[in-house]
Amino acid sequence: MTPHSFHGRTVLVTGATGFVGNHLAKRLKREGARLKLLVRDPAKVPAFLCDQDDIIQGDLTDAATLGPALQGAEWVFHCAANVSTWDRQEQYEAVNVMGVRHLMQAIEAQAVRPQRLVHVSTVDVYGLPAHPCDESCPPRLPGFGYGDSKLRGERLLQEHAHRLRLPFVILRPTNVMGPGSPFIDRIGHELRSGLMLRVAGGAADVGFLYVENLVDCLLWAAQAPQAAGEVYNVVDPEAITWRRFLDDLRQGIGGRGWIIDLPYPVAHAAAAVVETPYRLLRIRSEPLLHRMIVKMFGRTCGHSAAKLAAAGCPVGRIPYAQAMAESIVWFQANHPL
């Protein structure tokens, strides 16, 4: 991809107030793109993105609001999703499945369709396995609302895109880190003064992916001819264990919190007990421990991105040490002692 290849071009980003969408929109603006941002709450759009950009208030759950955002869009980056670690199944389905359906229907209704749609999915579609996967591994429902809904959304998007002959690319990121990351924010708070779970010595691969490296891949996927119709895992090249990640972040922020280490079977059994009343009583608040969290910390997210690198995508431009340092600076600036 050549520098400033989006200069003067109209690009739609869904979920621009979210973590990944925000970083992507900022990069596109710096490249001179004419941005269209689909957001539920315009008040949450950062000031940096408000100047001379089209802010379209809309919701993936309301199909009627999506048409204006798509008008004239030459590229669409679909970053919006319900990424909560704990929510009701119907809430995940409404955004991650029906939201995809509504977006594809709105694209179909356009007189001129986008040149390409880049869809942000997740490696959770492999079912949170014990061993790493590449794109040849068959996806399977992980049994949790987020991953289940993202897999169904992927399948729905592919079905519609093939029918419409709409060029698309699906990226499956691992755990996306960096300034503003929910991982850095939430784990940082626990490491600073709370209680942090570590599973089986923290030996599992985090699947560390710096957000700016993901943005590199998103921009490449939008224009690389060889990417059309493909599905790619996205992860940084350096394998980082949860033990190293937690130690580095804790030291960097001067954390005084406790880390409790549990064997995987013990942690999983305890999580099942803790979450049961929440599920039975449909309690909205997130329990302190549940099985998705245990699987996240105890099963590998270090899936292979060899296919992406072999296709010519720039992978891992910013190394782990710099990514962690910038994440620590952000956390300290936003959560001063």
179-188: per-residue pLDDT in tens?
999 999 999 9
**Under DSSP, is residue 176 helix (H, G, I), strand (E, B) or coil?**
strand
Give the model's pLDDT for residue 5.
81
Give the model's pLDDT for residue 1.
41
Give the model's pLDDT for residue 239.
97
What does each of the 337 residues of the chain score in pLDDT, given as a tens digit?
444 589 999 999 999 999 999 999 999 999 999 999 999 998 888 887 776 569 999 999 999 999 999 999 999 999 999 999 999 999 999 999 999 999 999 999 999 999 999 999 999 999 999 899 999 999 999 999 999 999 999 999 999 999 999 999 999 999 999 999 999 999 999 999 999 999 999 999 999 999 999 999 999 999 999 999 999 999 999 999 999 999 999 999 999 999 999 999 999 999 999 999 999 999 999 999 999 999 999 999 999 999 999 999 999 999 999 999 999 999 999 999 8
**Under DSSP, is residue 191 helix (H, G, I), strand (E, B) or coil?**
helix
Give the model's pLDDT for residue 52.
59
Give the model's pLDDT for residue 83.
96
Is the separation of the CB atoms in 26 and 50 below 8 Å?
A: no
Q: How far apart are CA 56 and CA 113, in angstroms?
A: 18
Residue 194: both structure tokens together = 């709370």
pLDDT tens string 193-219: 999 999 999 999 999 999 999 999 999
Give the model's pLDDT for residue 337.
83
With a CB cutoff of 8 Å and minimum separation 6, the contacts of 211 are 19, 20, 23, 176, 177, 178, 179, 180, 181
Is the separation of the CB atoms in 130 and 300 below 8 Å?
A: yes
Give the model's pLDDT for residue 65.
92
Residue 250: both structure tokens together = 């804790």
With a CB cutoff of 8 Å and minimum separation 6, the contacts of 12 are 35, 36, 37, 38, 69, 70, 73, 75, 76, 77, 114
Give the model's pLDDT for residue 79.
98
Domains and CATH numbers, the chain: 10-177+206-236 (3.40.50.720)
With a CB cutoff of 8 Å and minimum separation 6, the contacts of 52 are none
